[in-house]
Amino acid sequence: MEIRTLEQLQLQNAASTAKKDASSLDQDDFMTLMLQQLKSQDPFKPTDNTEFISQMAQLTSVSGISEMNENLSTLTGSLYSAQLLDSSALIGKDVLVESSVASLQSSGSVQGQVNLATSTTALDIEIMAPTGEVIAKVPMGPQAAGTTNFEWNGIGLNGERLPPGNYEIRANYLNGNNVEALSTEMRSQVLSVSVPVSGGSPQVQVQGMGSVSLSDIKEIS
């Protein structure tokens, strides 16, 4: 069995620590190495000015990068807090988001809008069951080109109020002799707000729609 002296073990530990920490030298370590280099150089063959300036530039670069990383970390934390604080003001408010889902509550109505590229003689808003069956309808009649608001009171084709839940909304309009589909924009309440730790747009939890990016919100009321 190999037997080592205390001195050998201390030297081995020192070498191991130096190897482990070599990749994490800071500005003070860099300066210490440069001063040691100046003390140890041959006075008859001093370090070339160009090389010395290059080493100084490396020191400045290391210091600048370290300071920049600290500033960026602080800035990221500040932006995260500011985004979360600003977005929290949306909780409880209604937002307008492009969606084909209507969230019907136990009372009240469902509101939304469509954008017509051209005028029409007939615009219909249909509410469908999960099976695809039309269970309610809002006839809008003739409409001019532009934004048209609609409202569904929750009453089905049978004349009774439908149970609370999420329903699919479909908008159709008559374009000449053809029936064409339209995308719908629905209003619903913001339940909560979150900001990704990795950055990016804040996410809002909208009733009936799930997670929606803040950038996708078209209107707040």
DSSP state at residue 164: S
State pLDDT tens for residues 68-86. Answer: 666 666 555 555 556 666 7
State pLDDT tens for residues 7-44. Answer: 554 555 555 554 445 445 555 666 676 666 666 665 65
Domain assignment present for residue 26? The answer is: no
Domain assignment present for residue 206? The answer is: yes
Domain assignment present for residue 76? The answer is: no
CA separation for the pair 186, 217 (Å, rounded):
10
* CATH value at residue 151: 2.60.40.4070
How do beta strands 120-128 and 110-116 pair?
A: unpaired
Reported as a pLDDT band with limits 50, 70 and 90, residue 64 is low
CA separation for the pair 97, 105 (Å, rounded):
18
How crowded is residue 91: how many other Cβ atoms within 10 Å of its Cβ?
13
Residue range of the domain that includes 123: 90-220
CA separation for the pair 174, 124 (Å, rounded):
9
What is the DSSP annotation of 50-66?
Answer: HHHHHHHHHHHHHHHHH
54 vs 120: which has the higher pLDDT: 120
pTM, two decimal places: 0.61
